[in-house]
């Protein structure tokens, strides 16, 4: 526990009114406030915490953190409790949380991973690299939080980066557990909303940057700028005896812009050209691949257990991170070769059948196209896709994903993928518009089965030798959320159960 005065001191230009108190926890959700807590009123996607100040006080909040420009919402509360008046409560939440947990990121070497596709895989590969090197590390990713490979908790699929209090609570747990390093998957939402401002990054790495989440960011330029925020944070992070380093994809169009965002050392990786970590002589062998790795630390032949060009890029990024950490090349190669992929990312369901079943998190047009294009030449029979689209956001994805599946898959099952408060059939209808635009017709080229469990069962029932069934969009997730409830659906577990009965 810390005093309110100590917490407020971590926020530039913040003011304290009404005396000092001891704070037991930092909260941003008034429904979670308990006696002795500091309630920070931030504006969320659906509600503004300034509307719940009195509710927080009634729950026992010892103090309130409010925004200077919202005086109309809190001026009547002056004198009732101490007030921390901040220039921007959204930005202020991060340093308040970091201070409450004694700035745990300053005691860890922190590696941030961002990108449109592949960032969860690269985060898990990086954590595996650290483990292979004998280093104790924690990992915060879309899938959840792990410390030394032991899962601590999973995250709500609606949010890709936890709020700052959760981030710093997990970093503090890592410090307490003896970790020396942390890997933090750093999404565009988390960066734009300042949830990661005080992670004190030492290494920042990017996979690639497309155009995604434009419903939130507004434009491709703003989306790219959010990714760039990770690299800007290198320049203000605490020094920890490790050179601040940006790991950049030299083959991606984002390379020049992201390089301009930081003064840190740059390390690049590439398949197509010169770079610090370069792949050549790529060879594909079914579900495996290999390449010649060239780095300033030497060369090696690398054999990957994970398929596709995209996993070669992840391997190169991991090799560049190994260079930044000054690890022996043989350690990086051993880690890359022993890695079996992140849960629900191009995960092959092994069931001894004469057809292939693949689970992948592809839930945007670019990622779905990439996966289908990869699977197409590996599939002598039919390529069948099962997917839906999430509700409440990213509506612009729906028709393009239908068009892509209509063009690259032989048959498509259109189904649920967390409609949330939206009408599930309205979402499905938008996807089928794209399928029809690609020349597909219902029952001939696609079928609508809203319940995802039934759609997966139908897809697996039609599989014959040589086919590939792609279960896309959910990956590691296990629940479908509807407007009036939810149902359990783990694509991987369900596929194994159904196949075991065939």
Task: State pLDDT tens for residues 273-292.
Answer: 999 999 999 998 888 999 99
Residues 330 and 377 in one domain: no
Q: Please report the pLDDT score of residue 486 as a whole number.
A: 96
State the distance between the two ends of the chain, measured CA to CA, in whole angstroms. 57
96 within some domain: no
Q: What is the CATH number of the domain that holds 196?
A: 3.40.1190.10
Q: Are residues 236 and 363 in the same domain?
A: no
pLDDT digits (tens, 9 = 90+) for 107-120: 999 999 999 989 99
* Shared-domain flag, residues 142 and 251: yes
Position 95 in a domain: no
> Among positive and negative, which fits the CA dihedral 12, 17, 19, 20?
negative
Three-state DSSP class for 412? strand
Q: How far is CA 257 from CA 68, 200, 250, 261, in A?
A: 34, 21, 11, 7
Query: Domains in the chain: how many in total?
Result: 3
**Domain stops at, among 338, 368, 397:** 338
Mean pLDDT within 430-436: 98
* Same-domain status, 363 and 454: yes
Tell me what pLDDT residue 149 has: 73
Q: Decide which of 338, 371, 389 is a domain's last residue.
A: 338
Looking at the domain assignment, is residue 227 inside a domain?
yes
Q: What's the pLDDT band for 158 if we cut at 50, 70, 90? A: very low
State whether 113 and 239 are in the same domain.
yes
User: In terms of C-beta density within 10 A (0-12 exposed, 13-18 middle, 19 or more buried), how is residue 377 classed?
Assistant: exposed
Looking up tokens 């320049």, which residue turns up? 235
Mean pLDDT score of the chain = 94
Q: What is the separation of C-alpha 177 from the centre of its chain, rounded to a whole number of angstroms?
A: 23
- Give mean pLDDT, residues 34-59: 93
Same domain, 17 and 165: no
pLDDT bin (cut points 50, 70, 90) of residue 343 is confident
Task: Find, among 492, 200, 489, 179, the residue nearest to 359 by Cα.
Answer: 492
Is the confidence at residue 205, as pLDDT, over 50?
A: yes
**Residues 111 and 83 occupy one common structural domain:** no
Q: What is the CATH number of the domain that holds 31?
A: 3.40.1390.10
Please indicate, yes or no, whether residues 356 and 306 belong to a single structural domain of this protein.
no
Q: Which of 20, 53, 88 is where one domain is finished? A: 88
Q: Quick check: is 94 in a domain?
A: no
Same domain? For 313 and 355 the reply is no
Q: Quick one: pLDDT at residue 324?
A: 98
Q: Judge whether 93 lies within some domain.
A: no
Q: What's the mean pLDDT in 165-186?
A: 96
Question: Residue 281: is it exposed, middle or buried by C-beta count within 10 angstroms (0-12/13-18/19+)?
Answer: exposed
User: From CA 189, how far away is CA 168, in angstroms rounded?
Assistant: 17
Q: Which domain holds residue 376?
A: 347-501
Closest C-alpha to 28, from 134, 181, 159: 159
pLDDT in tens, 484-494: 999 999 999 99
Question: Measured between alpha carbons, how far is 39 from 56 in angstroms, rounded to an integer?
Answer: 7
What 8-state DSSP symbol labels residue 75?
G
Chain centroid, CA 360 distance in Å: 14
Domain shared by 318 and 388, yes or no: no
- Say if residues 426 and 457 touch (Cβ distance below 8 Å): no
When pLDDT is cut at 50, 70 and 90, the band that residue 394 belongs to is confident
CB 363 within 8 A of CB 416: no
C-beta of residue 456 within 8 angstroms of C-beta of residue 345: no
Residue 49 lies in a domain: yes
Place of tokens 């070497």: 109
pTM of the model: 0.90
DSSP state of 132: H
Residue 299 sits in the same domain as residue 351 = no
Residue 352 inside a domain? The answer is yes
User: Do 20 and 83 lie in a common domain?
Assistant: yes
Per-residue pLDDT at 308: 87
Reduced to 3 states (helix: H, G, I; strand: E, B; else coil), residue 181 is strand
């Amino acid at each position: 526990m810390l005093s309110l005065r100590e917490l407020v001191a971590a926020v530039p230009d913040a003011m304290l009114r009404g005396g000092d108190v001891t704070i037991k926890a930092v909260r941003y959700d008034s429904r979670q406030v308990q006696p002795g807590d500091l309630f920070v009123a931030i504006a969320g996607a659906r509600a503004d915490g300034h509307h719940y100040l009195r509710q927080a006080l009634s729950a026992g909040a010892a103090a309130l953190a409010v925004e200077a420009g919202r005086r109309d919402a809190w001026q009547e509360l002056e004198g009732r409790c101490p007030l921390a008046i901040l220039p921007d409560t959204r930005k202020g939440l991060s340093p308040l949380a970091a201070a409450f947990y004694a700035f745990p990121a300053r005691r860890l070497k922190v590696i941030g991973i961002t990108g449109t596709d592949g960032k969860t895989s690269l985060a898990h590969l990086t954590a595996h690299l650290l483990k292979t090197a004998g280093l104790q590390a924690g990992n915060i990713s879309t899938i959840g939080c792990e410390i030394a490979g032991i899962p601590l908790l999973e995250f709500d699929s609606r949010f890709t980066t936890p709020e700052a209090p959760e981030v710093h609570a997990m970093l503090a747990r890592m410090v307490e557990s003896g970790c020396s390093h942390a890997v933090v998957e750093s999404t565009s939402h988390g960066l734009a909303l300042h949830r990661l401002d005080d992670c004190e990054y030492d290494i920042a790495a990017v996979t690639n940057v497309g155009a995604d989440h434009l419903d939130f960011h507004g434009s491709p330029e703003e989306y790219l700028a959010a990714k760039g925020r990770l690299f800007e944070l290198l320049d203000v992070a605490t020094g920890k005896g490790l050179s601040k380093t940006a790991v950049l994809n030299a083959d991606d169009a984002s390379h020049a812009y992201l390089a301009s965002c930081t003064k840190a050392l740059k390390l690049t990786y590439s398949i197509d050209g010169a770079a610090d970590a370069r792949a050549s002589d790529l060879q594909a062998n079914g579900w495996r691949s290999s390449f010649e790795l060239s780095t300033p630390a030497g060369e090696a032949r690398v054999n990957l257990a994970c398929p596709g060009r995209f996993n070669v890029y992840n391997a190169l990024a991991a090799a560049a991170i190994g260079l930044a950490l000054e690890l022996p090349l043989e350690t990086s190669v051993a880690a890359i070769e022993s890695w079996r992929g992140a849960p629900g990312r191009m995960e092959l369901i092994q069931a001894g059948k004469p057809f292939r079943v693949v689970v992948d998190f592809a839930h945007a047009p670019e990622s779905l196209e990439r996966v289908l294009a990869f699977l197409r030449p590996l599939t002598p029979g039919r390529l069948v896709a099962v997917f839906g689209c999430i509700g409440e956001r990213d509506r612009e994805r729906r028709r393009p994903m239908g068009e892509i599946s209509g063009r690259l898959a032989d048959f498509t099952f259109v189904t649920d993928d967390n409609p949330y408060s939206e009408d599930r059939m309205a979402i499905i209808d938008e996807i089928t518009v794209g399928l029809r635009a690609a020349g597909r017709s219902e029952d001939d080229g696609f079928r609508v089965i809203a319940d995802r469990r039934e759609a997966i069962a139908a897809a697996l029932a039609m599989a014959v030798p040589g086919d590939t069934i792609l279960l896309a969009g959910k990956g590691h997730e296990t629940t479908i959320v509807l407007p009036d409830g939810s149902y359990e659906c783990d694509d991987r577990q369900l596929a194994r159960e159904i196949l075991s009965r065939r």
